[in-house]
Amino acid sequence: MLEVGTKAPDFTLEDSEGSKVSLKDFKGKKVVIYFYPRDNTPGCTRQALAFKNLYEEFKAKDVVVIGISKDSAASHFKFAEKNGLPFILLSDPETEVIQKYGVWQEKKMYGKTSMGVVRTTYVISEKGKIEKVFPKAKPDTNAEEVLKYLE
């Protein structure tokens, strides 16, 4: 996991429309990146809907919201369309960015150990530095916690 004060690793990934999006595209703006395990799972859907419900408040603060998972761009498109998500979803099927940000970790579920995305949210400053980390973010409260932090 990245530490507060470190430079946020730049990246270029495909969005749900098939366009390339880079972190550097948002230089000069505050960016919230939330990493999540999978589209259309209960927790990930609740988290996405929580960001959707508060999206206008993020927008009013000129904050960019980006969700990243290893799902395909086509999966993101369906997920965004089904749930009316107004923010950017990026596809990282090779887990390149997910690993750069330190959120690809060993997880235990039902006694089994596997590698996966640990739900984590980063706030990146206008200068491209990690400003705040929300490790092990809770799907239902993460968006609200981030918004409170930004106030």
DSSP state of 104: E
Active-site residue, 44 included: yes
CA distance linking residue 48 with residue 34, whole number of Å: 9
Query: Whose structure tokens read 């948002």?
Result: 26
CB-CB neighbours of 136 under 10 Å: 10
Query: The tokens of 21 are what?
Result: 């999006």
**Catalytic position from the list 44, 64, 68, 97:** 44
Nearest to 33 by CA among 127, 103, 105: 103
Residues with Cβ within 8 Å of residue 31, at least 6 apart in sequence: 8, 23, 63, 64, 65, 66, 123, 124
Catalytic residues: 44
